[in-house]
Structure 1
Amino acid sequence: MGEMSRSGRQGVPAPAAPARAMSDPGATGRFGTYGGRYVPESLIPACHEIEAAFREAWSDPEFRGRLDTLLTVYAGRPTPLTPAWRLSHELGITLFLKREDLTHTGSHKINNVIGQALLAHRMGKERLLAETGAGQHGVATATAAALLGLKATVFMGERDIERQELNVLRMNVLGAEVVPVTTGSRTLKDACNEAMRHWVSSVDNSYYCIGSVMGPHPYPWMVREFQRVIGEEARAQCAAELPVGVPDYVVACVGGGSNAAGTFAGFVDTTARLIGVEAEGGAAATFGRAGVLHGFRSLVLQDEDGQVTEAHSVAAGLDYPGIGPEHAHLRDGGRARYETVNDEEVVQALLCLARTEGILAALESSHAVAWVIRAAKSGEIAPGSTVMLTLSGRGDKDIASIKELL
Structure 2
Amino acid sequence: MTHRPKSSTAEPRTLAEAAALVSTPDLDVSPDGTFGEFGGAHLPPHLQGPMAEVAQAYADARNDPEFYAEYRRLLRDVVGRPSPVTEARRLSAELGGAQILLKREDLNHTGSHKINHCIGEALLAKRMGKRSLIAETGAGQHGVALATAAAMTGLDCEIHMGAIDIAKQHPNVVRMRLLGAKVVSVDREGRSLKEAVDSAFDVYAQRPQDYLFAIGSVVGPHPFPTIVRDFQTVVGRESRAQLLERFGALPAAVVACVGGGSNAMGAFTAYLDDADVRLIGVEPGGRSAARGEHAMTMTHGTAGTLHGMATLVIQDDDGAAAPVHSIASGLDYPGVGPQHAHFQSIGRVEYVAEDDDAVLDAFQRLTRLEGIVPALESAHAVAHAMRLAPTLPADARILVNLSGRGDKDVDYVAERLGLEGVADETVR
- Same topology, TM > 0.5: yes
Asked if structure 2 preserves the Cα contact closer than 8 Å seen for 1:82 and 1:98, the reply is yes
1:162 corresponds to which of 153, 160, 167? 167
Residues 130-209 of structure 1: pairs in structure 2 closer than 5 A: 130-209=135-214
Give the structure 1 partner of residue 426 of structure 2: none
Give the structure 2 partner of residue 403 of structure 1: 414
2:320 corresponds to which of 307, 316, 324? 307
Asked if structure 2 preserves the Cα contact closer than 8 Å seen for 1:18 and 1:335, the reply is no
Give the structure 2 partner of residue 279 of structure 1: 284
Partner of 2:79: helix, strand, or coil? coil
1:93 corresponds to which of 90, 98, 101? 98
Asked if structure 2 preserves the Cα contact closer than 8 Å seen for 1:249 and 1:387, the reply is yes
Q: CA deviation at 1:303?
A: 2.2
Structure 2 residues without counterparts, runs of 5 or longer: 4-21, 286-293, 418-428
Give the structure 1 partner of residue 289 of structure 2: none
Give the structure 1 partner of residue 15 of structure 2: none
Asked if structure 1 preserves the Cα contact closer than 8 Å seen for 2:24 and 2:273, the reply is no
Residues 227-376 of structure 1: pairs in structure 2 closer than 5 A: 227-243=232-248, 245-270=249-274, 271-280=276-285, 281-376=294-389
**CA-atom RMSD, angstroms?**
1.5
Q: Find the aligned partners of 1:59 and 1:302 in 2 and give their Cα distance.
A: 39
Asked if structure 2 preserves the Cα contact closer than 8 Å seen for 1:18 and 1:333, the reply is no
1:30 paired with 2:34, answer: yes
Q: CA deviation at 1:205?
A: 1.1
Q: Find the aligned partners of 1:292 and 1:20 in 2 and give their Cα distance.
A: 24
Give the structure 2 partner of residue 79 of structure 1: 83
Q: Find the aligned partners of 2:366 and 2:145 in 1 and give their Cα distance.
A: 25
1:66 paired with 2:70, answer: yes
Q: CA deviation at 1:397?
A: 0.3
Q: Find the aligned partners of 1:106 and 1:175 in 2 and give their Cα distance.
A: 18
Give the structure 2 partner of residue 121 of structure 1: 126
**What is the letter of the counterpart of residue 324 of structure 1?**
G
**What is the letter of the counterpart of residue 235 of structure 2?**
I
Partner of 1:307: helix, strand, or coil? coil
Asked if structure 1 preserves the Cα contact closer than 8 Å seen for 2:257 and 2:377, the reply is yes
1:42 corresponds to which of 39, 42, 46? 46
Asked if structure 1 preserves the Cα contact closer than 8 Å seen for 2:99 and 2:396, the reply is yes
Q: Find the aligned partners of 2:118 and 2:298 in 1 and give their Cα distance.
A: 25
- Count of residues in Structure 1 that have an aligned counterpart in Structure 2: 388
Q: Find the aligned partners of 2:416 and 2:262 in 1 and give their Cα distance.
A: 27
**What is the letter of the counterpart of residue 358 of structure 2?**
E
Q: Find the aligned partners of 1:364 and 1:111 in 2 and give their Cα distance.
A: 17
Q: Find the aligned partners of 1:402 and 1:272 in 2 and give their Cα distance.
A: 33
Give the structure 2 partner of residue 394 of structure 1: 405
Partner of 1:210: helix, strand, or coil? coil
**What is the letter of the counterpart of residue 237 of structure 1?**
Q
Asked if structure 1 preserves the Cα contact closer than 8 Å seen for 2:99 and 2:389, the reply is no
Structure 1 residues without counterparts, runs of 5 or longer: 1-12
Q: Find the aligned partners of 2:23 and 2:213 in 1 and give their Cα distance.
A: 30
Overall identity of the aligned pairs, in %: 49
Q: CA deviation at 1:241?
A: 1.9
**What is the letter of the counterpart of residue 308 of structure 1?**
A
Partner of 1:186: helix, strand, or coil? coil
Q: Given the two structures, how large is their TM-score scaled by the length of structure 1?
A: 0.93
**What is the letter of the counterpart of residue 87 of structure 1?**
L
Q: CA deviation at 1:155?
A: 0.3
Q: CA deviation at 1:238?
A: 1.1
| 101-110 or 232-241, which deviates more | 232-241
2:116 corresponds to which of 111, 114, 137? 111
Q: Find the aligned partners of 1:121 and 1:109 in 2 and give their Cα distance.
A: 19
Partner of 2:271: helix, strand, or coil? coil
Partner of 1:282: helix, strand, or coil? coil
**Structure 1 moving runs of 4+ over 6 Å:** none
Asked if structure 1 preserves the Cα contact closer than 8 Å seen for 2:389 and 2:398, the reply is no
Asked if structure 2 preserves the Cα contact closer than 8 Å seen for 1:83 and 1:96, the reply is yes
Partner of 2:139: helix, strand, or coil? coil
Asked if structure 2 preserves the Cα contact closer than 8 Å seen for 1:301 and 1:309, the reply is yes
Q: CA deviation at 1:242?
A: 2.1
Q: CA deviation at 1:383?
A: 4.4
Q: Find the aligned partners of 2:23 and 2:94 in 1 and give their Cα distance.
A: 36
Give the structure 2 partner of residue 20 of structure 1: 25
Q: Find the aligned partners of 2:257 and 2:47 in 1 and give their Cα distance.
A: 31
Asked if structure 1 preserves the Cα contact closer than 8 Å seen for 2:120 and 2:231, the reply is yes
Partner of 1:59: helix, strand, or coil? coil
1:221-246 CA-to-partner distances (Å, cap 9, x unmatched) read: 11000100000001101111223x21
Asked if structure 2 preserves the Cα contact closer than 8 Å seen for 1:18 and 1:330, the reply is no
Q: Find the aligned partners of 1:274 and 1:18 in 2 and give their Cα distance.
A: 16
Q: CA deviation at 1:396?
A: 0.2
Q: CA deviation at 1:384?
A: 3.5
